[in-house]
Amino acid sequence: MANSSQLKSINFEDFKFDFSGGDVIGHYAIDRPVFEWKSRRFLKVKVFKEDNRERAEKEMRFLRKLQGCPYFYAIFGHIRGFEKYDYAVDMWAAGCILAGSIFHTKRIFNAKEDHKQLFKIANILGGKELLDSAREYEIAVDKELERNIRKFKGLGFQSLKRKYCEITATEEAIDLVEKLLVYDHKKRLTAKEALNHPYFSKIHKENLGEMEGTTKDTIVEQLSDLINKQLSISEEDNYPEIDISRELGSGTYGVVYYASVARSNYEFAVKHPFTISQIGFARKIKILDALKGCPNVNRFLGSIIWDTFCSLQNTFFLVFEYVNETSWYAIYDKISSEELRNYLRQMFTALDGCHSRGIMHCDIKPNWGLSTFYEENAFYNTGIGSIPYLSPELLLNYPKYNYSVDIWPMGCIVASAIFRKKFLFDGTRQDYLLEEILKVFGSECFLQFCRDYHINIHPEQVDRRYLGHQRKDWSKFITDENREIATAEAVDLVKKLLVFDPRQRLTAKQALKHDYFKLTLRTTSIQVATQKLQNK
């Protein structure tokens, strides 16, 4: 905000503003979010209407008085009248914000009154240390206040660590907080020193092998810089060795790019999640790390945490090995029996690997998506997965689901292939999908599930579309076109995967032992024996 005299001293041609954000319109002015590319800062511009010049000048005078005003992030020097502060006062505020983020609390020292805020600070950093620092800078402290402050021994930031924040409250993160939230303002890190702390711009380098002429560590670092360039942060730097040439795909949760290294055979897939918090990103990395070594799972190479942007957007990237993909929907109605067995065996092996590591996939479909760790008897978000692969328990909002939530979509994929149907249950909305499922399983399955799993429904509240359906035998899906691939073993596998009650479904491990997969071994043995006889 600036008055007319101030505007003369600003050369707006030196700046490049992006006014792409939405407006917040009020009675007196319009707020616009702005990204200024030259300084790479997010700003807010407040534009007053012409007939509100007096109000604008009044607000400017008020804001000038508020400069440096302490709030929850104020240091004790502000509270007790210490006026000789410097840039370090901002580092205290930054430390409070960081601590709040890593310990999952809105405000680390949350108090409405000055003396109570001092107590909150002293409880963590120590009362004696606070008083010693006050004496060093000749800050007068009331005797009663001093007596109360001295009671606090200083629990330290490690005392705030809980199981729910162990992913974000790492040793590096806590160490940075400890070096920012220091009583003596002269001993706090500067902003430049903080940026050089190991906590920032950390590149996960596990599971990366050496490469000819360079290392995959270097490549991940160069990818970080190249992504920076692609997002218009840098216009001068040039990295000719790595090329992000095309977009592989995008969806609800992010976009994936193809990256390759010049004069080599190394290819990567770089995923940029759209909306994800630092906590969510750390959780995703933990899951991907847990999947290392899991058979038939795309190898996770590393992650890039980009901290140039002020917001959480455009910050996190995941790097995977590149695997050439063939769309399932292009082959589901053409795939042969042997190809299907091989494909399904690999999928069940991968799924068994996930489950054995305590991970529910939660979005099984021909290409994979969501995932989360499983805890027995825990309640989970039911707004997950992809239509038309959602299981009945998800459609009925049953929150205590388990690994069997991944088995239902596997059954849908098997049925899709053997019955030559793109989708076994084709519904564009969840209520339509449930109706399609009940046309096959019958309404009694639905009512029995609600009784068994204590889902309270009133007869008058039940959608009439869900009632009156009779169970349909799987043999009704067999036609002359699919009879060759819809064998008795294949249909039996579908029956044992697509069970309305999740407790009755096969596990991934049990599915791998089904006769459908044993048939491949028997066929192979016969072929080998026949070949030996022919050779004689």
Is 271 annotated to bind a ligand? Reply is: yes
Beta strands in 322-412 (DSSP E): 359-360, 372-373
Q: Residue 367: which residues within 8 A CB-CB, separation 6 or more?
A: 325, 328
- What number of other Cβ atoms are within 10 A of residue 41's Cβ? 11
Residue 470 sits at the vertex; the CA angle it makes with 464 and 473, to the nearest 5 degrees, is 145
CB hemisphere CA count around 311 (13 angstroms): 11
Q: How far apart are CA 136 and CA 225, in angstroms?
A: 45
Tokens of 255: 């976009």
Which of the following is catalytic: 363, 463, 480, 501? 363
For residue 126, CA distances in Å to 112, 123, 154, 220, 361 come to 20, 6, 4, 42, 45
Q: How far apart are CA 268 and CA 270, in angstroms?
A: 6
The rounded Cα 333 to chain-centroid distance in angstroms is: 34
Tokens of 61: 């005078």
Q: How far apart are CA 7 and CA 208, in angstroms?
A: 53
- Whether 501 sits among the annotated catalytic residues: the reply is no
Q: What is the DSSP letter of 164?
A: G
For residue 248, the SS3 value is strand
C-beta separation of 508 from 407 below 8 A: yes
Q: Residue 534: which residues within 8 A CB-CB, separation 6 or more?
A: none
CB hemisphere CA count around 63 (13 angstroms): 9
Cα separation of the two ends of the chain: 93
Specify the residue for token string 């050439």. Answer: 324
- What number of other Cβ atoms are within 10 A of residue 74's Cβ? 19
* Residue 371, Cβ density class (10 Å: 0-12 exposed, 13-18 middle, ≥19 buried): buried
Nearest of 235, 227, 307, 239 to residue 272 by alpha carbon: 227
Q: DSSP string of 39-87?
A: TTEEEEEEEE-GGGHHHHHHHHHHHHHHTT---TT--HHHHTT-----T
Instruction: For residue 218, give the H/E element and its range.
Output: helix 216-230
C-beta separation of 193 from 166 below 8 A: no
Nearest of 418, 392, 399, 397 to residue 502 by alpha carbon: 392
Q: What phi, psi does 470 have (nearest 5°)?
A: -100, 150
Q: Tell me the residue type at 442.
A: G
Q: Which residues are catalytically annotated?
A: 363
